[in-house]
Amino acid sequence: MTHPVAPSLLLLLLLLLQIPSSLSAVPAHPAYADPASCTVASSSLDQDPLREAEYGGAARRILDITHAYREDMPAWESDEPLGRFVWLLKTMANGSIANFSEMKLPVHSGTHVDAPGHVFQHYFEAGFDVDTLDLHVLNGPALLLDVPRDKNITAEVMESLHIPRGVHRVLFRTLNTDRQLMLKKEFDSSYVGFMKDGAQWLVDNTDIKLVGVDYLSVAAFDDLIPSHLVFLKSREIILVEGLNLENVKPGIYSLHCLPLRLRGAEGSPIRCILIK
């Protein structure tokens, strides 16, 4: 007499028959000292890691405007890219009970924030580091706008933008985004940024307390320190640099930026999102 096979048992048998005798290998995590010597089984996972830039549906969208850290991203005033910044000190592939990595990178790399001590020694010595930045300023309604593509941000440009009083956070999208400068390996000193007179116009004629830009510095290379001094002198304005503003429409968003609590540091990597 024959017995019918239970559906659950039949499914298990089918799954067992599909398991390959040997698993194909793919390159391992880049933090390995020798990626070629450590591999993971590609068929042991049912999907690849998701790296989204946008989350949610039509009713509520979250846009990640932070650049992912990459070894080939630009480094300040360098023809060479950032390079390796994560190392595995302990690895399960070599018998450790867990993977344990170490990170080392300049605090003004990628999407980051400046503290007043970045350009003022007396603020640096007094302890005005990134851990003292006001989270109320770093989180709240923000205006994303496009600026003219043929010049740096001067007083004339600022006046032409007609930013109304009462706007406290503005993200400036420039030619830097069009040129995809943050995706290049080498530093480009021709990036668009604020000139000193543009920074002064903003301070004197607006209520802006957070300035966000789309390259490694808020200030144009030719007016680098003067513009920073204008912005950071009062300790009331926070500078967020290296934002990823590609494919984000101009308009009003809810901005949320959180730097690391690095005591004594004048800059920090920062994660920034927009909620629409």
Q: Where are the domains of the chain?
A: 112-275
For 185-240, how does the pLDDT look when each residue is reduced to its tens digit (9 = 90+)? 999 999 999 999 999 999 999 999 999 999 999 999 999 999 999 999 999 999 99
DSSP letter, residue 67? P
Q: Band of the pLDDT at 134, cuts 50, 70, 90?
A: very high
Q: pTM here?
A: 0.81
Q: What pLDDT, on the 0 to 100 scale, is given for residue 25? A: 39
Q: Is the pLDDT of residue 23 over 60?
A: no
> Per mean pLDDT, which range of 2-6, 185-189, 211-215, 271-275 is the poorest?
2-6
Q: What pLDDT, on the 0 to 100 scale, is given for residue 136? A: 98
For 159-186, how does the pLDDT look when each residue is reduced to its tens digit (9 = 90+)? 999 999 999 999 999 999 999 999 999 9
The size of the chain, in residues, is 276
CA distance 243 to 187: 15
Q: What pLDDT, on the 0 to 100 scale, is given for residue 31? A: 62
Fold (topology level) of 112-275: Glucose Oxidase; domain 1 (3.50.30)
Beta strands per DSSP E along the chain: 25-27, 39-41, 54-56, 61-64, 86-90, 100-103, 112-114, 139-146, 169-173, 210-213, 238-241, 251-259, 267-275
Q: What pLDDT, on the 0 to 100 scale, is given for residue 60? A: 81
| Token representation of residue 189 | 């000193």
Taking alpha carbons only, the member of 48, 30, 41, 38 closest to residue 101 is 30
Q: What pLDDT, on the 0 to 100 scale, is given for residue 234? A: 97
Q: Is the pLDDT of residue 16 over 50?
A: no
Query: Residue 148: exposed, middle, or buried by beta-carbon count in 10 A (0-12, 13-18, 19+)?
Result: middle
- DSSP assignments along 119-156, one per residue: T-HHHHHHT--GGGS-HHHHEEEEEEEE--TTS-B-HH
Q: Is the pLDDT of residue 8 over 60?
A: no
Determine the average pLDDT of the residues in 21-48. Answer: 51
Question: Considering the chain, what is the average pLDDT of its residues?
Answer: 87
